[in-house]
Structure 1
Amino acid sequence: MRITLWIVTFLLLFTLTVAPGPTMAAKDDHFEALKRFSQVLDMVESYYVKPVTRKELINNSIKGMIEQLDPHSTYLTPEDYKEMQVDTAGKFSGIGIEISMEQGRLTCVTPIEDTPAYKAGMLAGDLILEINGESTQEMTLEDAVKRIRGKKGTTVKLLILHKAASKPVEIAIVRGTIPIISAKSQSLEDGYLYLRLTRFNESTTKNMREKIVDYQKTHTLKGVVLDLRNNPGGLLGQAVSVADTFIDEGTIVYIQGKDKNNRKDFFAAKNSNEISVPLVVLINAGSASASEIVAGALQDHKRALIIGERSFGKGSVQTIIPMADGSGIKLTTALYYTPNGRSIQAKGIEPDIRVPFVAPPNDEDKTMRDRFTVREKDLSRHLENGNKSKKGTDKDAEKAKDRLERDNQLRMALELVKSLPKLKDIR
């Protein structure tokens, strides 16, 4: 193997010597880097205290190279690559959190609603200090994902530090199959529809539009509150189509990589089912990626009023590149920009009106877990349990009132969406 390597080296040196050109220095640098890598590979394989195969060394080298670039680029083993493909299909196994590596610390971007992590009390911004007793300090993002995931019914123990806490707590979470119900709805008042998007997966736009159509069968739609709080994002195409539901024309988002001439724009298409009623969008620190694309597009088009708190600030685009052996590379290849050319990366979307969440007195912990939850009983025209009340309409109104009482940001959103037609006349 080494003899072959030095033969190749000699041939390369000979070629470079007899055929100089404008890229000679670049080729020399490239060759020297490969030569140095080969030497290190040989030394580790020969002298490292424990047995290690060349395949392991090369895989670890690739992994280290990719993961040093940024928190979102990573090397995917064949198993990781298969799991990644499952994640966007609508359900997967785990505890139900979106995590990221922020300044070397493993951070919960947001727990996904109605999942084991959400029910256990995990919150956006939680630091994960240990996984099953093992420190996450030197752990890569992919290693953390592997340790947190596992078979349904098994338990994972996490040592977490809540954002405002001074002492970490350990929580035990039983893993499960995570079904993603990405679009939920509720009537806040007659004609005013609450739409909650929990994630952008393959069926998000379809489900959202179905809920709008269903609502319009029994109500005259006067306004929409679109809730993107704690939505970690998902598929770019779904973000574009969700925004397109409310925008009639123009750019929704564009992405641009290293080559400034290689820009790709995504435009709104004229649809017969566009929603033109007043719109208010709710965001917070857990609103990331695709959520920020939607909020940014609606804000730049002056199509919606954005309220709440500054969003997470993930404005990079990852491309999945499959490899011949079944593995893959998730590589950051571009940044995305709002229609007005704003990069959201590390900045986030600033709301038009900043409204911090204020928990009701003596109910903070419960509210932080429950304030975004829409369950089956909360949905319009849900199936009753056999003891159907004659006052179903009154019950729906009571549920909406209860939700509004617990959520000051939602109360503000409703008042603003009702006022938007009047504010537009003033302008």
Structure 2
Amino acid sequence: MNHPIKSVWLNQLLIGGGAIAAITLNSLMTPALSSPEPEVLEDNPKAIIDEMWQIVNNEFVDRKFNRVDWLEKRQELLGQEYSSNKQAYKAINKALKDLGDPYTRFLAPDDFATLTSQTSGELSGIGVRLILDKRTSQLFVVDTVKNSPAASAGIKRGDRVIRINDKPTALMTLEQAKQELEGEIGTQVSLQLSRKDKGVFQVDVTRAEIEIASVTYTLKEEDKVRIGYIKLDEFSSHAAEQMTQAINDLGKKQVSGYVLDLRGNPGGLLFASVDIARLWLKKGEIVMTVDRRGGDRHFSANGTALTDLPLVILVDQGSASASEILAGALKENKRATVVGTTTYGKGTVQSVHSLSDGSGLAVTIARYYPPSGTDINHKGINPDIYLDLSMEQQLQLKNDPELLGTNADPQYKRAVGVLKSNAASISLPATPKPVGLRWENLREAVMDENPQWERMNQ
């Protein structure tokens, strides 16, 4: 998920409430039109506009383009003069807005680079997640990536970042801090940190390629019932591998059931959601996609499930896209009990393309449906057990994420109650066998469009 992809016609798919699902294949655009061609020169801002137009023309799910004369739109766009790529970007955004689809959108080079980094589940840096306190302009470490250079250097959650490469962070934006932390693999970044029990100290960290943990898990003992708690933050390209490890490790500890937490998960790779569903589901349909020509594609379980122990899934209004595919498939196949609130409600698939200047374009190309065929777009998936949190409870969990999956978390407590009711009839599982994952050369990703925190991974 790291670097901008320079190939002009790299195609990717999106399914998220902010995420992008990607299918990597090289595709040629429809070449000629019957009307006279406006002159489009390479390295001219008009070239970016024409790339955008061609992709939308070939792929947008609404063949009527929201009643926009898309051919006339091309003539209009290429008939104007643009002094810079940024000016062309404004014209592109305006044209896409006319399509009436919030998920068909243009991504400036920096945004596209961030997206590709998120979807790959990898980043080049030192492995810290930073948060900016807007009230004090202070920069803090909110987390470190497991086995990252930052973790190895002893950097901890709560450390305040005073200087990066001898530059004070007091006047830095989060983006400026990110730029300071970026650099070639193998080079060093110097940090001055402050910690309550240690005071001010200096640390030099060597940059590396890092796999981001999308999955975290732990064994819970709840009244002598052993429960495997798994938190899935996003459906990156490594998420299914990490989920496999979580299920296997917890299974060896003889758990009686699992709680899979998808709350706040904005989505990710479509095929990551399919592969993860297959880890839980022995048989049954997972999802169906329908493109603009009416062609449908079905994805089903393939007999590679790792466990048949009871499963409870936690969802909320922030569970979108790939999260809804997974929750919907396991709920409708009666494989899991879903607890929480109604999910986000995004039932469309996008393709993501890189353009020749490093920018990107996401285009809605299909709609997806859970096994029942229900249209969840703008509706979401209703849980089996509806349990909302009070504003006070939401604020408490937001301010202290360590409370998630504890007795201070009402939705988790309800999930535990469901598993306890099944505990008497559960026999201990055999050690599951590892499963080889198949990616079928397809990727999908999701961006969080309404982040509650200004945050950054680096």
User: For the Cα contact (< 8 Å) 1:90–1:180, is it kept in 2?
Assistant: yes
Matched residue, 1:208: 243
Q: Is the aligned partner of 1:316 residue 2:348? A: yes
What is the count of residue pairs matched by the alignment? Answer: 296
Q: Percent identity?
A: 32
- Do the aligned partners of 1:371 and 1:406 also contact (CA within 8 Å) in 2? no
Higher strand share: 2
Q: Do the aligned partners of residues 325 and 366 (structure 1) sit closer, same or farther apart at CA in structure 2, a change above 3 Å counting?
A: closer
Let me know the Cα RMSD of the aligned residues. Answer: 3.9
Q: Is 2:336 aligned against 1:336?
A: no
Inter-CA distance 407–58: structure 2 relative to 1 (3 Å threshold): closer
What is the match of residue 241 of structure 1?
A: 275
1:62 aligns with 2:114: no
Structure 1 residue runs of 5 or longer lacking an equivalent are: 1-6, 11-28, 46-51, 98-112, 121-146, 155-176, 375-402
- Structure-1 residue corresponding to 2:178: 152
Output aligned runs, 1:187-226, within 5 Å: 187-189=219-221, 190-217=225-252, 219-226=253-260
1-side partners of 2:421 and 2:219: how far apart? 17
Distance between the aligned counterparts of 2:216 and 2:236, measured in 1? Answer: 14
CA shift, 1:183, in A, is 1.0
Quickly say closer, same or farther: Cα 1:73–1:150, change in 2 above 3 A: farther
Equivalent residue, structure 1, for 2:286: 252
C-alpha separation in 1, matches of 2:297 and 2:406:
41
1:87 counterpart residue number: 118
Please report how far the alpha carbon of residue 210 of structure 1 lies from its aligned counterpart in structure 2 after TM superposition: 0.9
1:417 counterpart residue number: 419
- The structural deviation recorded for 1:317 is 1.0
Q: CA deviation at 1:188?
A: 2.0
Residues of 1 paired with 2:418 and 2:395: CA distance? 27
**Counterpart contact for 1:95–1:149, Cα < 8 Å:** no
CA–CA distance in 2 between the matches of 1:413 and 1:182? 21
More helix by proportion, 1 or 2? 1
Which amino acid is 2:312 matched to? V
Return the offset for 1:289. Answer: 1.0
- 1:273-294 Cα deviation digits (max 9, x unpaired): 5210111111011111111111
Structure 1: which amino acid aligns with 2:273?
A
TM-aligned CA distance change 1:8 to 1:405, over 3 Å:
closer
Query: Do 2:248 and 2:306's aligned partners in 1 also have CA atoms closer than 8 Å?
Result: no
Deviation at 1:347, TM superposition (A): 0.8
Q: State how far apart, in whole Å, the 2-side matches of 1:88 and 1:31 are.
A: 33
Distance 1:74 1:372, change over 3 A: farther
The range that moved more, 190-199 or 65-74, is: 65-74
Cα gap change, 1:418 to 1:152, in 2 (>3 Å): same
> 1-side partners of 2:354 and 2:412: how far apart?
43
| TM-superposed deviation, 1:61 | 2.2
1:64-213 residue pairs with structure 2 within 5 A? 64-69=94-99, 70-91=101-122, 114=143, 149-152=175-178, 180-189=212-221, 190-213=225-248
Question: TM-score by structure 1 length?
Answer: 0.60
User: Which amino acid in the other structure matches residue 421 of structure 2?
Assistant: S
C-alpha separation between the residues in 2 aligned to 1:302 and 1:86? Answer: 35
Whether the 8 Å CA contact 1:254–1:339 is kept in 2: the answer is yes
Describe the shift of the 1:149–1:269 C-alpha distance in structure 2 as closer, same or farther (beyond 3 A): farther
TM-superposed deviation, 1:238: 1.0
Partner of 1:387: none
2:265 equivalent to 1:263: no
* Whole-angstrom CA distance in 2 between matches of 1:186 and 1:9: 61
Contact persistence 1:246–1:274 (CA under 8 A): yes
Checking the alignment, whether the CA contact within 8 Å between 1:251 and 1:267 is kept in structure 2 is: yes
SS of corresponding position for 1:345? coil
Structure 1, residues 109-162: CA drift from partner, whole Å, max 9, x if none? xxxx848xxx99xxxxxxxxxxxxxxxxxxxxxxxxxx97443288xxxxxxxx
